[in-house]
């Protein structure tokens, strides 16, 4: 709300001298010497976002070294999570593979306790979000101080922008599990003995969270991109039909009506259940992707911002009232 008000005040500030200095040759409602004081333009606006999306940064509430009871867990989930690059990992993989022939679940009394790392924060390389090209109707209002210097306020019908996703998000789980350490006194003694003997189960697994490219687009948003610029136009009205110009100013970007891809939203809700299960002392349920005690929701937000903008353009006068206008805008 504060940024919306600031933009309105900026427009009002530029309009104020029109009334205060009506007698000035630079601030007047009357046409100037050989040029029109006001002009209004409308036409096609095509936006082509440049650059590639930055890697996605992820943060969760699971701190490094978080300890959680495992609880009941499927043998398949345990086998998938074991780090077989370590000697103890190979031993436990072989042992649990034998158990898997007789049961598909490790009870909490055997599964013990896990120490979880790698989930507090990470950056997913190869992922990102990028805005797609969009077309809309643009509107431009110009006040000419002189035949060469003008103020332009531009806007248009706010288009609906597709936000394309790329890459997959994986949670880089690592840590260790101590079998039989189930919270009981006897289990604690046995588990500590296993741990001291180097018998912990090493864990390492990239848990797939979501595919940002699923469904063709990750999200959509309504984009409001008004701008105020000062232009300098070369040539002279009534003499030069073709008049190039340059401009610089500021653009305000505001986004609303944000909607997320339902598939990605469902994946993130499931990830929320995984996090809550770890906090609830059910790390095994997290690996098995079971529903937790929480009710995760996904909130999609966009940040308002101001950005400098540079414009290159040219106009061609057909007659005193009609012209063709071409502009290229480069916001930073």
Average pLDDT score over residue span 221-245: 93
Asked if the model's pLDDT at residue 95 lies above 70, the reply is: yes
Mean pLDDT across 4-12: 31
Residue 13 pLDDT level (bands cut at 50, 70, 90): very low
pLDDT at 266 over 80: yes
Highest-scoring range by mean pLDDT, 190-199, 214-223, 320-329: 214-223
Instruction: Please say if the pLDDT value at position 19 is more than 80.
Output: no
pLDDT band at residue 282 under the 50/70/90 scheme: very high
Examine the pLDDT at 193 and tell me if it is beyond 70.
no
pLDDT at position 50 is: 74
Return the sign of the alpha-carbon dihedral for residues 253, 11, 248, 34: positive
The structure's pTM equals: 0.80
As a three-state string, the secondary structure of 233-292 is: ECCCCCCCCEEEEEEEEEEEEEEEEEEECHHHHHHHHHHHHHHHHHHCCCHHHHHCCCCC
Q: Is the pLDDT of residue 191 over 90?
A: no
Average pLDDT of the segment spanning 92-108: 92
Helical residues (DSSP H) of 82-155, grouped into ranges: 87-100, 108-111
pLDDT score recorded for residue 130:
92
Residue 190 has pLDDT above 80, yes or no: no
**Mean pLDDT on 317-324:** 83
- Give the start-to-end residue ranges of the domains of the chain: 2-331
Q: What's the residue count for the chain?
A: 332
Confidence category of residue 39, pLDDT binned at 50, 70, 90: confident
What phi and psi values does residue 10 have, to the nearest 5 degrees?
A: -65, -45
Q: Tell me the residue ranges of DSSP E strands in the chain.
A: 38-47, 56-59, 66-69, 73-74, 105-106, 113-117, 121-124, 128-131, 134-144, 149-156, 160-166, 168-178, 201-211, 219-224, 227-233, 242-260, 305-317, 323-331
Q: Is the dihedral of CA 216, 218, 219, 224 positive or negative?
A: negative
Q: What is the pLDDT of residue 6?
A: 30
**Band of residue 2 on the pLDDT scale cut at 50, 70, 90:** very low
Q: What is the pLDDT of residues 48-88, one digit of tens each?
A: 877 778 899 999 999 999 999 999 999 999 999 999 999 99
Tell me if the domain spanning 2-331 has CATH number 2.40.160.20.
Answer: yes
Mean pLDDT of the chain: 85
Q: How far is CA 27 from CA 10, 14, 31, 234, in A?
A: 17, 10, 10, 20
- Range with the poorest average pLDDT among 18-32, 185-199, 306-320: 18-32
CA dist 287 and 271 (Å) reads 10
Q: Which two tokens stand for residue 138?
A: 């643009």
Question: Is residue 259 pLDDT above 50, yes or no?
Answer: yes
Write the CA distances from 254 to 130, 138, 161, 329, integer angstroms.
16, 16, 12, 17
The C-alpha atoms of residue 198 and residue 178 are separated, in whole angstroms, by 10
Cβ neighbours of residue 69 under 8 Å, at least 6 residues apart? 108, 112, 113, 114, 182, 183, 281, 282, 283
Q: How far apart are CA 131 and CA 164, in angstroms?
A: 6
Over residues 120-132, the pLDDT tens digits come to 999 999 999 998 9
Tokens of 132: 């797609």
Residue 148: which of 234, 35, 33 has the closest Cα?
A: 234
Burial class (CB in 10 A: 0-12, 13-18, 19+), 70: buried
Q: What is the predicted pLDDT for the residue at 46?
A: 85
Please give the pLDDT value at position 14: 32
Q: Rounded to an integer, what distance in angstroms lies between the CA atom of residue 163 and that of residue 132?
A: 6
């Amino acid at each position: 709300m504060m940024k919306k008000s600031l933009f309105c005040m900026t427009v009002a500030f530029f309009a104020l001298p029109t009334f205060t200095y009506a007698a000035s040759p630079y601030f007047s409602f009357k046409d100037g010497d050989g040029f029109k004081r006001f002009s209004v333009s409308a036409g096609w606006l095509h936006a082509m976002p440049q650059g590639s999306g930055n890697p996605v940064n992820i943060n969760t509430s699971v701190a490094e070294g978080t300890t959680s009871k495992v609880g009941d867990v499927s043998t398949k989930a345990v086998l998938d999570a074991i780090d077989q690059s370590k000697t103890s990992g190979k031993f436990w993989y072989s042992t649990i593979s034998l158990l898997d022939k007789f049961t598909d679940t490790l009870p909490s009394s055997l599964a013990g306790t896990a120490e979880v790392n790698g989930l507090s924060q990470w950056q997913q390389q190869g992922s990102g979000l990028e805005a797609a090209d969009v077309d809309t109707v643009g509107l431009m209002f110009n006040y000419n101080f002189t035949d060469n210097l003008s103020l332009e306020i531009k806007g248009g019908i706010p288009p609906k922008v597709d936000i394309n996703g790329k890459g997959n998000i994986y949670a880089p789980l690592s840590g260790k599990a101590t079998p039989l350490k189930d919270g009981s006194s006897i289990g604690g003694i046995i588990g500590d003995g296993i741990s001291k003997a180097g018998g912990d189960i090493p864990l390492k697994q990239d848990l797939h969270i979501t595919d940002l490219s699923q469904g063709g687009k990750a999200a959509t948003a309504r984009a409001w991109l008004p701008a105020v610029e000062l232009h300098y136009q070369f040539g002279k009205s009534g003499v030069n039909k073709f008049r190039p110009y340059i401009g610089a100013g500021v653009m305000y970007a505001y986004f609303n009506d944000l909607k997320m891809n339902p598939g990605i939203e469902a994946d993130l809700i499931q990830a929320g259940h995984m996090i809550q299960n770890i906090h609830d002392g059910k790390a095994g349920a997290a690996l098995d992707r079971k529903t937790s005690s929480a009710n995760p929701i996904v909130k999609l937000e966009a940040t308002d911002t101001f950005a400098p903008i540079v414009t290159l353009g040219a106009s061609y006068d057909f007659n005193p009232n009609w012209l063709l206008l071409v502009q290229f805008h480069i916001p930073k």
